[in-house]
Amino acid sequence: MSQAQSDSAARRAFHWCLAGVFLPVVSVPIELLAVLHHLRREDATDEDLRWARRLFALAMVDLLLTGLLIAYVVSGLGTPKAQKTSPPEVDPPKARIGVFFRVLGSLFVLTIKTSAR
Protein backbone atom coordinates (compact mmCIF):
# COMPACT_ATOMS: atom_id res chain seq x y z
CA MET A 1 0.00 0.00 0.00
CA SER A 2 2.86 2.41 0.76
CA GLN A 3 4.35 1.76 -2.70
CA ALA A 4 1.04 2.63 -4.36
CA GLN A 5 0.81 5.80 -2.29
CA SER A 6 4.35 6.88 -3.20
CA ASP A 7 3.69 6.16 -6.89
CA SER A 8 0.56 8.23 -6.79
CA ALA A 9 2.35 11.03 -4.89
CA ALA A 10 5.05 11.45 -7.54
CA ARG A 11 2.51 11.16 -10.34
CA ARG A 12 0.17 13.58 -8.58
CA ALA A 13 3.00 16.11 -8.14
CA PHE A 14 3.78 15.87 -11.86
CA HIS A 15 0.17 16.48 -12.82
CA TRP A 16 -0.20 19.40 -10.42
CA CYS A 17 2.93 20.98 -11.87
CA LEU A 18 1.65 20.29 -15.37
CA ALA A 19 -1.48 22.23 -14.47
CA GLY A 20 0.80 25.07 -13.37
CA VAL A 21 1.15 26.11 -17.00
CA PHE A 22 -1.51 28.73 -16.26
CA LEU A 23 0.82 30.43 -13.76
CA PRO A 24 4.14 30.38 -15.64
CA VAL A 25 6.32 32.52 -13.37
CA VAL A 26 4.85 31.35 -10.06
CA SER A 27 4.90 27.64 -10.83
CA VAL A 28 8.65 27.30 -11.52
CA PRO A 29 9.86 27.50 -7.89
CA ILE A 30 7.07 25.14 -6.82
CA GLU A 31 8.10 22.65 -9.51
CA LEU A 32 11.76 22.83 -8.51
CA LEU A 33 10.87 22.18 -4.88
CA ALA A 34 8.74 19.20 -5.91
CA VAL A 35 11.64 17.84 -7.97
CA LEU A 36 14.03 18.14 -5.03
CA HIS A 37 11.54 16.49 -2.71
CA HIS A 38 10.90 13.50 -4.96
CA LEU A 39 14.52 12.97 -6.04
CA ARG A 40 15.89 13.03 -2.47
CA ARG A 41 13.47 10.51 -1.04
CA GLU A 42 15.33 7.50 0.32
CA ASP A 43 12.39 5.13 -0.10
CA ALA A 44 11.86 6.12 -3.75
CA THR A 45 10.99 3.30 -6.12
CA ASP A 46 11.84 3.11 -9.80
CA GLU A 47 8.40 4.47 -10.58
CA ASP A 48 9.00 7.44 -8.25
CA LEU A 49 12.32 8.20 -9.91
CA ARG A 50 10.76 7.96 -13.36
CA TRP A 51 8.08 10.48 -12.42
CA ALA A 52 10.70 12.68 -10.69
CA ARG A 53 12.78 12.76 -13.90
CA ARG A 54 9.67 13.69 -15.87
CA LEU A 55 8.95 16.37 -13.32
CA PHE A 56 12.52 17.66 -13.69
CA ALA A 57 12.14 17.85 -17.48
CA LEU A 58 8.86 19.71 -17.06
CA ALA A 59 10.49 22.15 -14.63
CA MET A 60 13.34 22.84 -17.09
CA VAL A 61 10.92 23.50 -19.96
CA ASP A 62 8.87 25.81 -17.75
CA LEU A 63 12.03 27.59 -16.60
CA LEU A 64 13.06 28.17 -20.22
CA LEU A 65 9.60 29.43 -21.20
CA THR A 66 9.44 31.69 -18.14
CA GLY A 67 12.80 33.20 -19.05
CA LEU A 68 11.61 33.83 -22.60
CA LEU A 69 8.36 35.35 -21.33
CA ILE A 70 10.21 37.69 -18.99
CA ALA A 71 12.63 38.71 -21.75
CA TYR A 72 9.69 39.39 -24.08
CA VAL A 73 7.93 41.59 -21.55
CA VAL A 74 11.09 43.48 -20.55
CA SER A 75 12.12 44.13 -24.15
CA GLY A 76 8.75 45.73 -24.92
CA LEU A 77 8.29 43.95 -28.24
CA GLY A 78 4.60 43.39 -27.65
CA THR A 79 3.72 46.99 -26.86
CA PRO A 80 2.12 49.21 -29.51
CA LYS A 81 4.75 51.94 -29.08
CA ALA A 82 7.48 49.58 -30.27
CA GLN A 83 5.66 48.73 -33.48
CA LYS A 84 6.76 50.76 -36.48
CA THR A 85 3.85 52.61 -38.02
CA SER A 86 3.59 55.63 -40.25
CA PRO A 87 3.07 58.90 -38.43
CA PRO A 88 -0.52 60.11 -38.33
CA GLU A 89 -1.45 62.90 -40.68
CA VAL A 90 -1.73 66.22 -38.88
CA ASP A 91 -4.39 68.70 -39.90
CA PRO A 92 -3.22 72.30 -40.28
CA PRO A 93 -4.10 74.49 -37.32
CA LYS A 94 -7.42 76.30 -37.50
CA ALA A 95 -8.05 79.85 -36.31
CA ARG A 96 -10.19 79.99 -33.16
CA ILE A 97 -11.71 82.81 -31.20
CA GLY A 98 -12.32 82.14 -27.55
CA VAL A 99 -14.05 84.03 -24.79
CA PHE A 100 -12.89 83.42 -21.24
CA PHE A 101 -14.37 84.67 -18.02
CA ARG A 102 -11.94 85.12 -15.17
CA VAL A 103 -12.80 86.04 -11.65
CA LEU A 104 -10.56 88.68 -10.10
CA GLY A 105 -11.70 89.14 -6.56
CA SER A 106 -15.37 89.85 -6.98
CA LEU A 107 -15.12 91.30 -10.52
CA PHE A 108 -15.75 89.36 -13.71
CA VAL A 109 -13.30 90.12 -16.48
CA LEU A 110 -14.05 89.33 -20.13
CA THR A 111 -11.03 88.33 -22.20
CA ILE A 112 -11.15 87.70 -25.93
CA LYS A 113 -8.31 85.64 -27.23
CA THR A 114 -7.45 84.59 -30.76
CA SER A 115 -5.12 81.75 -31.50
CA ALA A 116 -3.95 79.86 -34.51
CA ARG A 117 -4.07 76.39 -32.91
Least confident piece of the model among 18-27, 29-38, 67-76, 92-101: 92-101
In this prediction, residue 81 carries a pLDDT of: 62
| Domain coordinates in residue numbering, the chain | 2-82
Euclidean distance between the first and final Cα of the chain, in Å? 83
Task: Flag whether the pTM goes above 0.75.
Answer: no
Burial of 44 (0-12, 13-18, 19+ CB in 10 A): middle
Question: What's the whole-number mean pLDDT along residues 23-37?
Answer: 88
In this prediction, residue 1 carries a pLDDT of: 45
57-107 tens-digit pLDDT:
999 999 999 999 889 888 877 676 645 566 667 777 776 666 555 555 545
Distances (CA, A) of 48 to 5, 8, 14, 23, 28: 10, 9, 11, 25, 20
Q: Using CA atoms, how far apart are residues 107 and 114, in angstroms rounded to an integer?
A: 23
Higher pLDDT, 8 or 67: 67
Q: Using CA atoms, how far apart are residues 33 and 39, in angstroms rounded to an integer?
A: 10
Q: Give the residues across from 111 on adjacent strands.
A: 100
In this prediction, residue 88 carries a pLDDT of: 66
pLDDT at 113 over 90: no
In this prediction, residue 6 carries a pLDDT of: 46
